Every structure is written in C-alpha cells, then in structure tokens.
Chain A
C-alpha cells in the first residue's frame, strides 16, 4: 500500500519531528500537531521552512515538527530579530516563528512590536498559557487580572493582550484561537503562512501542570466555556479551486497575495476582518463580557512587507555572485575620489 502524499510528494510523516519533552496534555503539543497538519496540507517543502523560536516551553516545540527543516532556537524574546535577519537573507524561505507569552509579552515585547511595525513577512505564533511553565508557574504578562495561581496567589496586574497590542500597531494579520480548536487553528496557521506580512496568531494553550485549575482564565475548561468564535474559518490554498457554495451574504472571502483565499462564515454578528477599529471593539467587548473572542480579527492584504519596502532582492543573498556584490572598479574609483 503506498502512503498518501501531498502536492510535493511527501507523506505526513515527513512533517513530524522529535518526540515532545513537554508535559502530557500540554496545549503546545496540540499546536504542534496542528502545525504538522497545516504544513503537510499546504505542501510546504521542508528545506524552504525556517522554524524560529526564543526561550520557554513554547520555544522548544519547533524541534517537534518537520525535522528536516532549518530551525533556530535563539535567546529569550529575540525570535523576531533572528527571524528578520534570516528572512532578509532569503526571502524565499517560509519563516515560522513560535513564541510564548513570556517571550512575547515581557522580555520580547519591544521586538514583537518592531517586527509588527516593519511588517516582516512571517508567521508569529504565540503559544499563550499565561504562565511561566519552565520556572514553575509564575504569572506571565498575559495572565488576566484576578486570575488565580495553582497555589492560590491572585494576579494583581492588568494583562497585556498581544492581539490588542498588534491591532493598535496596525499589524497586517491578527488572529486568536485555542489549542483545543483544531478546526480553527489549522486554517488560521495556513492563512498566516500564506499572508505576506507579519501574521500574529495568539493561541491560548493551557499549561496542564501550572495553570489548568479553577480560577485560571487560561485553563481548558474556562476557554471551552468562554470561547466565542467570530466566524468559521476555512482556507483555500492557491493550488485548489475555490468552490463557494454558501448562501450570498453569509460568507466573507479574503483573497491573499499568493492567490489563496480565507473564507469566513458568519456565526453571530457580522465582523468585517478588514476593519481594524471593529477588531479592537470586538476584543474590548469580549473582554467586558468575560468572553474569549477567537478567529481572524483583522487582515490587511495590501500593506507592503518589510523586505519589499526595503528593496531586498528576491534572489536569496547566498545565491548572489561576487560580481553582484562587489563594486565595479569604476564605481570604487569614483567613490574614492569623493574623499580626495
């Protein structure tokens, strides 16, 4: 029996990685599986994938999928800088950054914001559990005010909401989801990869060891009870034909730069994902009502990405020859004469 393969001729197993060393039941492991599914179904070529991360439980996960891809587990909160550098060196690579709430909302908040400001073409996944799991469960900066620690401590600080920050900065793609909601996470990962620009995907991902109890707003049960999806998300890649057989007025179709489509099916109130102020309002309302709003909050397909803005050549820098990289003798002589 021949194994089923994707459009680049690879079986699903080619997208697997080393065995996870995270706790059984960790939300991050689910996200890893969603990632494998998304990358397999998209037919991403492993040698064109760069998996980037910072420090923390989340940042260990790039070792657990697509073993044959390139990967760089860097320093705490500095994934955006490494990703920006690697992307500029080779625009053809698919940059997939995995970060956590500590990495993103504390030590790396400046990097996170500047990456968004520049609109670096990459997918930025935040595996958000509101806690520092590797250092035994202190609150992170995304923990909600009043949420309760495993040992009873109450969080006294306002949370930093990565999606709200991203929206305030005009990020070109902002989505939120839940690790237990594969139906939503997988198409959002695909859409984030297809999107040209910084795609922020904040995925609430419960920490079973330190933050999955009553009083936590990042637990499986809390999220299940309070998740409010703004629309059903499906993704149609550029290599598949679009069949939209919904009734008129019930779906929104967002065409991405590479010819892919995000199809959003209305659930409750209509949300326009191209309206940034509406996205901010949806988050604020959800917060006021005690709901976790998930789905594609905002997308801007027209914004120029960093490498384009900076006129970085399409050809990977490694493929440029000496002739292209070295000044001509005449140009050099001209340059020197300016100092004479």
Chain B
C-alpha cells in the first residue's frame, strides 16, 4: 500500500545500518492510491528490495490468520537475530475481512534477542569489538544497546558508508566487504525462515502460491481432483526463496505460480532463482481486479493451459 512507498528510505537505512525492525504490509491494490479498499499481492517484488541501492529484505508470507499471528511473533525474533527489517506481507483480504481460525496458541518460545553484547561481555572482550565485524562468519555481527555501562559500548552508526568499526569511510574495499557480508547475512537468514508447506501426491503438475491465495488454491485443488486433475501444491512462506522451491519444480513437468498481481511477481522471482534448465517448466496464473481470488480464477486458466499440447 502507499505508506510502504513513503517508508522506503527508512527501510534502506535500517537495512544498511542493521537496525532490527518489523513492518506489516497489509497489501491493498495500487499503483498509487489504486483501489484503497481492495486487496492484492502486488507489493511483493517492491517490498523485497525496498529502497534504492542494493537493498534486500527478509519477507514473511503468512497464508492464514493463524500464521499472521505466529509470524508476527517470529518476525521479531528474526529481526533481532539478523538485525535487519522483516516485512510481514499480509493483504486486505486476510488482514481486514472476518475469517475462521483455530484458537491461537500461547507463545511458549523464549524471545531471541540475537547477538547483543552486555557489560559483562564487553569486559571479557576487554572492549575489543567492532559493530560490523563478522566474528562468526555468518554475516551477523554483534551489537550493544544504548545505555550499556561500558566505555566501549557506544558506536556511531549511519546510513553512509562504514567500516567494521562503524567509522565513516568511502573506501572501495571496505564498502564491498560490507555489502558482501550483508549478502552472507541474508543467506544465513534464508535457511532460518519458514519453509514452504508442501502437499504432494506425485502429480506431474505443480502449483505454487503464497499468502491469502491459499484459500482459493485449497478449493481449486478439490475441484480439479473431482475433474481427475490432480495437482501438487507448494505454499511459499518467505523471501529470499527456500531451496525447496527449485526441488519442487524439478519434481514436476509443469508448475503454475498463482498470485494476485498483474505482472507475476513471484513467478519472476522464482524463475530468477531457478537453474536455467527448469525455467521453461514455469507457468503463470494471475488475478488482479481488487477482489479476493476465487477458485475459478485458478481452475479455468489452469485447465485452458493444460489443454494446449506442450
């Protein structure tokens, strides 16, 4: 929705200065003010790289009301662990309409604050630490919180170029080193994000969707089953994409990506991530009129494309 555009600059700042933050985007249909009381899934590509420069974010894609609740909780842990913005992409249909849901479970898991150095840690290190120094090789660095009572606790962070000690620099090597570390960090995070949910019975046809499209997919698969057309299903739940996606595509002859935007944004992201040999297996089904996607908007285009000999 439009306010996510307004916060693009801050998103880049949080990515580069490595500030944990959780942002919920209840997607409405754009561009611009668009249809402000109607739903869509068209912020996916934009949010993933929100802000100028080489910026990339962690994006969680809840598909049910229960997942919105669970991902909200987990998003804070991911943000603290990876010290980066975490976007939770819901949509107007999921976020503002009434849904039935199983009762939410009490949050048992302890909070994960990630790599935070307290006073004792700094004393053990004799103050030897750097805010952006990759000690563990996973791209995730240590931080202190303002107010920590140790002379080495303070650091000066910024949205401008910085080295391992958080000092301003326009040095070519320091810049590239830092950007490569950020890539490494996101790669670490990628393996920790919610894995795709897969329901597979050995069909040659696969279907990939995310978010609130799930409800329509469930209904469509049932109807297709009745027509004798069995379709396997993978629901993607996070960006950057899991390696499971390429494996799912490799197990199927044709894979339909179903989503609620005009340009096939997830379809594009998946094709970019696939080995070249698998790209031709991808098909796209798109729904973009502001109304929640109905099952028919999946069944008809899928049957149509299946009828054409490949």
Q: Choose from B110, B145, B151 the contact partner of A46 (Cβ within 8 Å).
A: B151
- Inter-subunit contact A69/B154 (CB<8 Å): yes
**Interface pairs (16), CB distance under 8 Å:** A46-B151, A67-B156, A68-B153, A70-B146, A72-B17, A74-B13, A74-B158, A78-B9, A86-B146, A90-B146, A93-B147, A316-B145, A316-B147, A318-B145, A333-B106, A336-B104
- Inter-subunit contact B152/A329 (CB<8 Å): no
- Which residue of chain A is the closest to B119 with respect to CB atoms? A47
- Inter-subunit contact B156/A71 (CB<8 Å): yes
| Contacts of A269-311 to chain B: CB distance below 8 A | none
Q: Choose from B10, B110, B147 the contact partner of A318 (Cβ within 8 Å).
A: B147
CA distance A333 to B104 in the complex (A): 9
Residues of B with Cβ closer than 8 Å to A?
A: 9-10, 13, 17, 103-104, 106-107, 110-111, 145-160, 167-168
- Inter-subunit contact A71/B17 (CB<8 Å): no
How many A-B Cβ pairs are below 8 Å? 77
CA distance A221 to B218 in the complex (A): 76
Query: How far, in Å, is A112 (CB) from chain B's closest CB?
Result: 17
Residues of A within 8 A of B151 (CB): 46-47, 68
Residues of B within 8 A of A336 (CB): 103-104
Residues of B within 8 A of A241 (CB): none
Which 6 residue pairs are nearest across A and B when measured between Cβ atoms?
A71-B156, A73-B158, A70-B146, A70-B154, A318-B145, A68-B154
Q: Choose from A62, A322, A329 the contact partner of B111 (Cβ within 8 Å).
A: A322
Residues of A within 8 A of B107 (CB): 326
CA distance A81 to B14 in the complex (A): 13
Tell yes or no: A92 within 8 A of B by CB.
yes
Residues of A within 8 A of B145 (CB): 90, 316, 318
Query: How far, in Å, is B265 (CB) from chain A's closest CB?
Result: 27
Residues of A within 8 A of B106 (CB): 329, 332-333
The contact string, 1 if C-beta is below 8 Å from chain B, for chain A 41-73, is 000001111110000000000110001111111
Tell yes or no: A168 within 8 A of B by CB.
no
CA distance A48 to B145 in the complex (A): 11
